[in-house]
């Protein structure tokens, strides 16, 4: 089974504002809302790929209830813990004239360490050897900085494979617990390295260093429209990004993580994983908001994926 952990979900409100201008009145031309937060997006995409997952995490208030209802309506299995406060609403502003995507993310609810510990205990009771646990996104206020380290270590000790997708200090502490796979984007990996990594060679070297230093088995470095680098002990593959019409790039990384988890569960070869992840990423950027792409679109893109072993 695949479990996705979203400690700080969000209702994503995606609005279109042609020629967005700061210090001025801006008018919205279209808008949509989607249940979001990185782990939740992963669960939505796994479902489209034909897989099953259980989405866990923390929700609060009417916004939290509307997210839970939307996910149930999609047929997803969930097991969220409800806390005091209101789950955040994140604004995603798309400017179709200047081709920009601007994220305005709220901080989210405040939680206590006791709530996090209870949620982790609950997860540890559910998981067993061979399960996949996807831990991604930011954490609610009040969470200790080492939360992803603690969760990764505990899940790993139960024999689960942890996929970690986080940024900054959450990533830097999380990797110390040896997750199975990490998926930083090139900017996140640069921040971790403390210097700008520009070439594929520099990104591959840093990914290999991560694997050596922390015992991580696989590192996937995504590079937006420039594709992704898949680094394993056996080989490294570079996949070009697909040329697709862009609806919204928000959640592109989550869709790649979903494909990676799904491929891992199914024991896919690295080549098949690369094809599926690239097509899933491409199909999802064609969608508006954080809507998950239909499998037919993903399938139609698979033969177009271009990759090479480095």
Ligand X SMILES: O=P(O)(O)OC[C@@]1(O)O[C@H](CO)[C@@H](O)[C@@H]1O
Ligand Y SMILES: Nc1ncnc2c1ncn2[C@@H]1O[C@H](COP(=O)(O)OP(=O)(O)OP(=O)(O)O)[C@@H](O)[C@H]1O
Binding site for ligand Y (CB under 6 A): 185, 222-225, 227-228, 241-242, 244, 246, 249-254, 256, 278, 281-282, 285
User: Strand, coil or helix: what is 103?
Assistant: strand
Give least dist CB 114 to ligand Y, A. 30
Give least dist CB 290 to ligand X, A. 5
Q: Select the residue whose beta carbon is closest to ligand Y and give its number.
A: 253
User: Strand, coil or helix: what is 230?
Assistant: strand
Nearer to ligand Y (CB atom), residue 197 or residue 242: 242
Give least dist CB 215 to ligand X, A. 25
C-alpha 238/C-alpha 174 separation (Å) is 25
How many helices and strands, by DSSP H and E, does the chain display? 10, 14
C-alpha 215/C-alpha 277 separation (Å) is 23
CB 133 within 8 A of CB 160: yes
Site string for ligand X, 80-119 (x = CB under 6 A): ----------x------------x-x--------------
C-alpha 91/C-alpha 38 separation (Å) is 15
C-alpha 34/C-alpha 109 separation (Å) is 19
DSSP label at 293? P
Give least dist CB 281 to ligand Y, A. 3
CB 58 within 8 A of CB 143: no
Nearer to ligand Y (CB atom), residue 34 or residue 254: 254
Instruction: Report what 105 binds from ligand Y, ligand X, none; CB cut-off 5-8 Å by kind.
Output: ligand X
Nearest to 136 by CA among 248, 249, 263, 7: 7
Contact between 33 and ligand X by CB under 6 A: the answer reads no
Catalytic residue among 131, 146, 254, 272: 254
Measured between its terminal Cα atoms, the distance across the chain in Å is 32
Give least dist CB 294 to ligand Y, A. 16
- Binding footprint of ligand X, residue count (CB under 6 A): 17
Contact between 38 and ligand X by CB under 6 A: the answer reads yes
Nearer to ligand Y (CB atom), residue 174 or residue 282: 282
CB 228 within 8 A of CB 203: no
Contact between 12 and ligand X by CB under 6 A: the answer reads yes
Helices 61-73 and 38-48 pack at an angle, to 10 degrees, of 10
Q: What is the CA radius of gyration of the chain?
A: 18
Instruction: Report what 35 binds from ligand X, ligand Y, none; CB cut-off 5-8 Å by kind.
Output: none
Residue 254 is a catalytic residue: yes
Contact between 41 and ligand X by CB under 6 A: the answer reads yes
In the range 231-260, which residues lie near ligand X by CB under 6 A?
Answer: 250-251, 253-254
Residue 161 Rama label (left phi>0; alpha psi -120 to 50; beta)? beta
Nearer to ligand X (CB atom), residue 68 or residue 290: 290
Give least dist CB 206 to ligand X, A. 21
Count Cβ atoms below 10 Å from residue 226 Cβ, excluding itself: 13
Instruction: Report what 242 binds from ligand X, ligand Y, none; CB cut-off 5-8 Å by kind.
Output: ligand Y
Q: Annotated catalytic sites, by residue?
A: 254
Question: Can you give the binding site for ligand X, defined by CB under 6 A?
Answer: 8, 10, 12, 36-38, 41, 90, 103, 105, 137-138, 250-251, 253-254, 290
């Amino acid at each position: 089974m695949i479990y996705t952990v979203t400690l700080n979900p969000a209702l994503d409100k995606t609005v279109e504002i042609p020629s967005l201008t700061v210090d001025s009145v801006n008018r919205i031309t279209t808008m949509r809302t989607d249940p979001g937060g990185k782990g939740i997006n992963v669960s939505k995409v796994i479902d489209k790929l034909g897989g099953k997952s259980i989405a866990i995490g923390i929700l609060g208030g009417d916004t939290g209830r509307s997210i839970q209802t939307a996910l149930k309506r999609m047929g997803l299995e969930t097991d969220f813990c409800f806390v005091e406060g209101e789950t955040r609403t994140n604004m995603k502003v798309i400017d179709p004239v200047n081709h920009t995507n601007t994220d305005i993310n709220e901080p989210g609810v405040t939680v206590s360490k006791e709530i996090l510990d209870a949620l982790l205990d609950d997860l540890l009771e559910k998981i067993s050897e061979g399960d996949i646990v996807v831990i991604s996104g930011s954490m609610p206020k009040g969470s200790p900085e080492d939360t992803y380290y603690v969760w990764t270590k505990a899940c790993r000790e139960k024999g689960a494979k942890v996929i970690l997708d986080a940024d900054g200090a959450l990533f830097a502490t999380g990797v110390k617990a040896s997750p199975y796979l990490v998926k930083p984007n090139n900017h996140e990996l640069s921040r971790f390295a403390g210097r700008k990594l520009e070439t594929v060679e520099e990104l591959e070297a840093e990914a290999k260093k991560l694997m050596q230093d922390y015992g991580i088995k696989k590192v996937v470095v995504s590079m937006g429209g420039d594709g992704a680098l898949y680094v394993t002990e056996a080989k490294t593959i570079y996949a070009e990004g697909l040329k697709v019409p862009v609806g919204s790039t928000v959640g592109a990384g989550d869709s790649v993580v979903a494909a990676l988890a799904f491929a891992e569960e199914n024991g896919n070869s690295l080549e098949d994983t690369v094809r599926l992840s690239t097509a899933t990423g491409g199909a999802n950027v064609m969608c508006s908001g954080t809507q998950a792409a239909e499998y037919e679109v993903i399938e139609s893109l698979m033969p177009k994926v271009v990759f090479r072993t480095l």
